[in-house]
């Protein structure tokens, strides 16, 4: 096992959930809805026509949508879940009337900036994975956000997250991050995913007192360190790094899962005190 990818596991469940929810609560009309053709610019874009204005869930995945039109979206006064995976959207816009929205998925589009979210004060889940985002900005007005997915973008720095006091999950895998930093204020964070970046040191996470799941696989880490304040840590994924010695886990007595596969470790040791450990690679 080479660690975990939260976005992959989430995606399978979301697709199943979205499809079921749409058939029960939403009726939509589109000029083109063909899975797997989201990158063909010569095909006509999808057209959104809202039929059920009382819908609480709207599934527009794989719909060839290029822009979010205010004329249709402003009709949805009850919408709580909006799924727009794998479309052709380049800009987040015209969402200001969706104040009841709790979940927004824009996974797999062509978005370059986080913007247009100021009115989504009830948003709890935001997925912007697989886009072209370079900076973490524009999240200041999301006080209820609990899950933030930003994997597979072009982000080079962790920043502007300190105000998200209710955040429980942060996914920043497969970006260009070199340093773990600016995580102060995320006191409720339980899961942190930083796999497939350029991180060289485990650092600046002592404030994450509630962290239970930490994934930093496929980076450039050579030493296990600075985990001594994470007393509630249960799962640690550090596969595919340059770690030589198993150390620095003296205070992590709740660990039940450790992944150190594909490192430079020659001797297994310093684990006997981890009585809860059931999975080890």
- pLDDT of residue 122 exceeding 80: yes
The domains of the chain, with CATH numbers, are 1-154 (3.80.10.10)
Question: Could you read off the pLDDT of 166-196 as tens digits, one per residue?
Answer: 999 999 999 999 999 999 999 999 999 999 9
Q: Are 114 and 128 in contact (CB under 8 A)?
A: yes
Cα separation of 108 and 123, whole Å?
A: 19
The C-alpha atoms of residue 160 and residue 181 are separated, in whole angstroms, by: 11
How high does pLDDT run on average in the chain?
89
Nearest alpha carbon to residue 117 among 93, 135, 100, 136: 93
Q: Does position 1 have pLDDT exceeding 80, yes or no?
A: no
- Pick the closest to residue 90 from 122, 108, 66 (CA basis): 66
Please compute the mean of the pLDDT values over residues 146-161 and round it to a whole number.
99
Looking at residue 17, what is its pLDDT?
42
Here the tokens at position 51 are 């039929």
Q: What CA–CA distance (Å, rounded) separates 3 from 235?
A: 10
Model confidence at 133, pLDDT cuts 50, 70, 90, reads very high
């Amino acid at each position: 096992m080479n660690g975990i990818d939260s976005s992959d596991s989430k995606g399978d469940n979301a697709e199943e959930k979205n499809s079921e929810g749409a058939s029960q609560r939403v009726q939509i009309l589109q000029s083109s809805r063909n899975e797997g053709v989201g990158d063909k610019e010569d095909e006509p874009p999808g057209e959104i026509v809202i039929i059920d204005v009382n819908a609480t869930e709207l599934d527009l995945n794989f719909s060839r949508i290029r822009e979010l039109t205010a004329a249709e979206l402003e009709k949805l006064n009850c919408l709580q879940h909006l799924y727009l995976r794998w479309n052709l959207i380049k800009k987040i816009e015209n969402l200001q009337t969706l104040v009841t929205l709790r979940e927004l998925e824009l996974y797999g589009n062509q978005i370059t900036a986080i913007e247009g979210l100021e009115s989504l004060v009830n948003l709890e889940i935001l997925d912007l994975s697989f886009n072209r985002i370079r900076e973490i900005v524009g999240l200041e007005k999301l006080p209820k956000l609990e899950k933030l997915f930003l994997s597979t973008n072009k982000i080079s720095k962790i920043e502007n997250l300190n105000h998200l006091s209710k955040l429980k999950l942060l996914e920043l895998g497969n970006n260009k991050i070199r340093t773990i930093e600016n995580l102060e204020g995320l006191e409720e964070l339980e899961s942190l995913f930083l796999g497939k970046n350029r991180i060289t040191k485990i650092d600046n996470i002592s404030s994450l007192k509630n962290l239970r799941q930490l994934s930093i696989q496929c980076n450039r880490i050579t030493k296990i360190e600075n985990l001594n304040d994470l007393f509630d840590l249960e799962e640690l994924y550090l596969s595919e790094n340059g770690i030589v010695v198993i150390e620095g886990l003296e205070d992590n007595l709740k660990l039940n899962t450790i992944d150190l596969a594909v490192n430079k470790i020659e001797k297994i040791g310093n684990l006997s005190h981890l009585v809860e450990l059931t999975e080890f690679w």
